[in-house]
Structure 1
Amino acid sequence: MNLRLTSLFSAALLALLCAGTAQAAETTPAAQLQRWSAQAGASGNAAKGQTFFNAKHGGEWSCASCHGTPPTAQGQHANTGKVIAPLAPAFNAKAFTDSAKVDKWFKRNCNDVLTRECSAAEKADVLAYLNNLK
């Protein structure tokens, strides 16, 4: 194989690997709920999720502080004013469809609201609540 053909083959292989990685991250809100429920060892509870979402947990903010009540319309970050897309999957087709983003934002937002990472059960409950909003 000559050097040019080897380079083209390597580039094509890298593109396929990257495409496979990107697709592996794609998911559905229902699959996210299933993932966190499995980790929690119990199904998400929408009523608990709604209570958790709207409550302040010893800090100044709740989830609803930025995402609204219910989170079916655009929200606004309480500190920066940045516009936030609707969080409920029925009102935002992209919500909870990328596992890496789900993990990133749960970690970041739970730290803002709770000053700790959310448990798998808390994530499952919030997702059950959000997935039930129509």
Structure 2
Amino acid sequence: MTVTPYAIGFLCALPLAATVSAAPPTSLIERYAAAARAETPRFPGFSAARGETLHRTEHAGGKPDTPACTSCHGKDAQGPGKTRTGKAIEPMAASASPGRYQDPAKVEKWFKRNCNEVLGRECTPREKGDWLAYMAGQ
């Protein structure tokens, strides 16, 4: 068996790849799923398609200058966004920002702030899980 330099580089990178996960932590997803089941006993599971709809749809309940997540985060989840004041925002896609969803407290902080600005209310556990499913697939 011949081991090429490419194979050696790949094998050396495996331990690093295992430590930097792009997906949200399972514990966070399980917490949102448990809360969603408590609200909806026939909870069907999270849906990336519903998450994408939530992300792209313009809503009337929040602030007029932020009717959709795309108002600041852009239409391409793999690209950077920009706040209303012009400050850069890292891409939302888990593949483009691997460490983004690893701190559950930080995720919850941003959901609270952004859902209130866009929807005029907090997101439901199902909405949070759907949105994370969408971002995990990007």
- Give TM-score scaled by structure 2 length: 0.71
Per-residue deviation, 1:35: 2.4
Asked whether the 8 Å contact 1:30–1:131 carries over to 2, the reply is: no
Given candidates 47, 50, 53, the residue that maps to 2:49 is 47
Q: Which residue of 1 aligns with 2:68?
A: 62
Task: Determine whether 1:122 maps to 2:122.
Answer: no
Q: After the TM superposition, which residues 56-95 of structure 1 pair with which residues of structure 2 at under 5 Å, given as runs?
A: 56-58=58-60, 59=62, 60=64, 61-77=67-83, 79-95=84-100
Q: RMSD across aligned C-alpha pairs, in angstroms?
A: 1.4
Q: Which residue of 2 aligns with 1:20?
A: none
Given candidates 21, 29, 36, the residue that maps to 2:24 is 29
Q: Deviations over 1:17-60 (max 9, x none)?
A: xxxxxxxxxxx514233321221123211111101100111143
Asked whether the 8 Å contact 1:74–1:85 carries over to 2, the reply is: yes
Q: Please, which moves more after superposition, 30-39 or 120-129?
A: 30-39
Q: Which residue of 2 aligns with 1:23?
A: none
Q: Distance in 2 between matches of 1:34 and 1:76?
A: 30
Per-residue deviation, 1:122: 0.6
Structure 1 segments of 4 or more deviating over 6 A? none
Of the two, which has the highest radius of gyration? 1
Identity %: 43
Q: How many residues align?
A: 105
Structure 1 residue identity aligned to 2:127: E
Asked whether the 8 Å contact 1:71–1:87 carries over to 2, the reply is: yes
Q: Distance in 1 between matches of 2:32 and 2:70?
A: 21
- Give TM-score scaled by structure 1 length: 0.72
Structure 2 unaligned runs (5+)?
Answer: 1-22, 38-42
Q: Distance in 2 between matches of 1:120 and 1:101?
A: 15
Q: Please, which moves more after superposition, 80-89 or 55-64?
A: 55-64
